[in-house]
Structure 1
Amino acid sequence: MTALSKTQRIAAFSLAGAALILFVVFRPSPLHVDSGTVTKGTLQVVLDAEGYSRVRDRFVIGAPVSGRLARVAFREGDSVAKGDTVSELLPAELDAREFRQASARAAAARAAYDEALARERQATIGFEQAGRRSVRYGNLYSEGAVSKESFELARNEADMRLKEAEAARSAASSARFSFEAQQAVIDRQTAGTPVRIVSPVSGTVLRLHEQSERVVPAGAPLFDIGDPSAIEIVIDLLSTDAVRVKPADRVLIEEWGGGKVLEASVKRIEPSGFAKISALGIEEKRVNIIASLSRKESRLGDNFRIQAKIVLDEKSRVLLVPVSSLFRTTAGWKVFIIENGKAAARPVRIGLRSAFYAEVLDGLDEGDRVVVHPTNELRDGMRVAFEN
């Protein structure tokens, strides 16, 4: 083979250098991308929603008859005892028709009182039976005959039956006071005999609907009385989200003003939804979720605004990848992993998903760097640049 002359060698080197320069000049520059790292941690699948706090057992005391209400000496926040007179009502003189109406209302109040007494007896029997079952299961648990879960269920049922019995007792007392107030209207001998309005329970005055002296119609609300330390949380969700919630799910109470996260649990899901107009003017079907606090918080009062997170599922020490790095293809989920300055499409299998992270079951390792928010310009094998 004939050796190249000096001129030919110079020309060849010049052509090779020119080709290299053209390759460097016209080669596509790396695509700038955002990146994230695959890490291990705890993943929570939550529903975020607004809610409010309310007193669990609220008693609204209304005017038993029409008449002139005396000025109320109590203020909101004052404590009252069961049977205390909170105000007096001076009814107007009754004519024959009004007397018949008052008699009918007294008879209805008597029937409601009898029904409340029956409910109280039923709740008392249920509590006594649950108490005996709790004691029996406690003895069986100490002997190893039943599981701890069965014993705890029996004990919790006894506690629940106790609360039901107390509520039924209070309802019976309220019905009795209502009956006595109605009966007092027809029992008075002369017009001008005042009707005492008494508190059916011991508690705190939560709200005064009327404070100054004025004429009020029968049934008009006058006072709200309850125990402000017995607080429950009301969270309204879209009905499509509410079906995912289960009793005993964890609830995290945030942004209530106290600076710490309060723990609660779902007590019940109300069976009936309601319509609500959203901020965009769209009618939505929503459902109230009732949660009870794990520990009492004295600073959280009635009708306070809160932000809640309902934990639907939770896993610890799982491999996490940003949800924004995932994209779906016909073959399934994929991510772009960054290797040696290039983006490589890699199939992955995911499990739980939250708003920001997803659980990686297969396809990635801890410490892998992935492209976050991949654009349509990104292709498999393309050079990329990112900031650490």
Structure 2
Amino acid sequence: MKPLSKTQRIVAISSVVFAFLLFLVLRPAPLPVDAGAASYGPLEVSLEEEGVTRVIDRFTVSAPVNGKVRRSELVEGDSVNAGMTVAAILPPDQNAREYRESAALAGSATASVTEAFARQREVSVRLAQARLKAGRYERLHREGAVSKESSELAAEAASVLEKEARAASAAVEAARMQASAAAARIDTGIASKAVEARSPVDGKVLRILEKNERFVPAGTPLVEIGNPGLLEVVIDVLSSDAVRIRPGNRVVVEDWGGGGALVGAVRRIEPAAFTKISALGIEEKRVNIIAMLDRPEPRLGDNFRIQARIVTSQASRVLRVPVSALFRGEGGWELFVIENGRARARKVKIGMRGADMAEVLGGLRAGERVVTHPPNELQEGMRVAVQGK
């Protein structure tokens, strides 16, 4: 073979260089993408919904008799003591029919007292059992026989029953007051005297429902009384979300107007759903979740708006990946892994999904970089460049 001349060699080398430069100019530029990495760390799954605060033990004082209610001298926020007069009603003279009705009402009120006593005894028995269980679990926890969480749940159950016991005692006192007022109705000698409606508990006036003097029938609500220091949080969630919530789940109250977050726990899930119209005009089935704060917040009052986050599941150390990296493929969840500057589609198995991170059960290793918010034009094998790198 005849060797190339000097001119031919120069032309050949120039052609190769030109072709290489042309390739560099014409080849597609790397697609700019955002990236994250798979890593080990804590993960929690939660629901975020709006809620309101509510006084736990709210008592409505009603008119015990037909008559003219006198103008109230109380204002919302006033403190009252058990047995204190909160309203006065001047009853009209009774006829025979009204007397029989009053007697029937008195009998019903007496039955309510009996029922309240039975409820109080039932709660007292449950409280005694819960206290014994809490003490036993605390002792077993010190011995290492049960977990700290089991001991804390037993103590929390006893604490909840203590509040129920106080509420039951207040209910007994309220029933007694109603029975006394009902008995007063059948006393013909009291017709010319004002019948006093008294507060069944110590607390504060939440609302005055009848501020001006007027005639009211028996049973008309007059005053609402409660203790604003004993609040619960009511959060309504979709019924499909409610089935994932359990008593004892942690609740974080945010956006309540003060600094920092307030922590509590789910106390109970109401058994019945209700219909609510969403902002988009769609009928939704909602369920009330009742939670208790670990520490009372004195700046919160009755019916205050809050934003609540209910933690349904959590883990202290799992392999996580940003949720924004995931997308649905034909066979399930997929993502793009960055390998040698190229995007490679890979199927992954996902466990818990939080707001920002998801648990990876298989298909990915810690430290591998993934494309977050993958653009529509990204395809398998395309060259990518991480933005901001």
TM-score, structure 1 as length reference: 0.89
Instruction: Give the percent of matched residue pairs that are identical in Structure 1 and Structure 2.
Output: 52
2:4 matched to 1:4?
yes
1:79-116 deviations in Å (ceiling 9; x for gaps): 11111111211112223333332222222222222322
Query: What SS does the aligned partner of 2:355 have?
Result: coil
Pairwise CA RMSD = 2.9
2:236 matched to 1:266?
no
Which consecutive unaligned segments of at least 5 residues does structure 1 have? none
Q: Distance in 2 between matches of 1:159 and 1:383?
A: 60
**1:279-358 superposed matches below 5 A:** 279-358=279-358
1:235 and 1:215, CA in 2 relative to 1: closer, same or farther beyond 3 A?
A: same
1:51 and 1:72, CA in 2 relative to 1: closer, same or farther beyond 3 A?
A: same
1:266 and 1:122, CA in 2 relative to 1: closer, same or farther beyond 3 A?
A: closer
2:51 matched to 1:38?
no
Paired position in structure 2 for 1:60: 60
Q: Distance in 2 between matches of 1:37 and 1:137?
A: 46
1:104-163 deviations in Å (ceiling 9; x for gaps): 2222222222322333344445545666x4598489859969858787777666555544
Paired position in structure 1 for 2:381: 381
Q: Distance in 2 between matches of 1:158 and 1:356?
A: 36
Q: Which moved more, 1:50-59 or 1:24-33?
A: 24-33
Paired position in structure 2 for 1:359: 359
1:282-304 deviations in Å (ceiling 9; x for gaps): 11111111111111211121111
Paired position in structure 1 for 2:202: 202
Q: Compute the displacement of 1:354 (Å).
A: 1.0
Q: Compute the displacement of 1:39 (Å).
A: 3.7
Query: What SS does the aligned partner of 1:32 have?
Result: strand
Q: Distance in 1 between matches of 2:368 and 2:205?
A: 60
Paired position in structure 1 for 2:229: 229
Paired position in structure 1 for 2:16: 16
- Partner amino acid for 1:110? T
Q: Which moved more, 1:103-112 or 1:219-228?
A: 103-112
1:322 and 1:73, CA in 2 relative to 1: closer, same or farther beyond 3 A?
A: same
Paired position in structure 2 for 1:70: 70
Q: Compute the displacement of 1:63 (Å).
A: 1.2
Q: Distance in 1 between matches of 2:89 and 2:354?
A: 58
Q: Distance in 1 between matches of 2:210 and 2:269?
A: 34
1:244 and 1:32, CA in 2 relative to 1: closer, same or farther beyond 3 A?
A: same
Paired position in structure 2 for 1:113: 113
1:183-236 deviations in Å (ceiling 9; x for gaps): 212203264311011011111111111222222232221111111111111111
**1:184-195 superposed matches below 5 A:** 184-189=184-189, 191-195=191-195
Q: Distance in 1 between matches of 2:178 and 2:100?
A: 18
The question of whether the paired residues in 2 share the 8 Å contact of 1:137 and 1:154 is answered with no
**1:168-183 superposed matches below 5 A:** 168-183=168-183
Q: Distance in 2 between matches of 1:139 and 1:308?
A: 30
1:316 and 1:93, CA in 2 relative to 1: closer, same or farther beyond 3 A?
A: same
Paired position in structure 2 for 1:79: 79
Q: Distance in 2 between matches of 1:240 and 1:138?
A: 34
Q: Compute the displacement of 1:3 (Å).
A: 1.5
Query: What SS does the aligned partner of 2:186 have?
Result: helix
Q: Compute the displacement of 1:316 (Å).
A: 2.4
The question of whether the paired residues in 1 share the 8 Å contact of 2:350 and 2:360 is answered with yes
The question of whether the paired residues in 2 share the 8 Å contact of 1:137 and 1:146 is answered with no
Q: Distance in 1 between matches of 2:138 and 2:271?
A: 37
Instruction: Say how many residue pairs are matched.
Output: 387
TM-score, structure 2 as length reference: 0.89
Q: Which moved more, 1:204-213 or 1:277-286?
A: 204-213
Which consecutive unaligned segments of at least 5 residues does structure 2 have? none
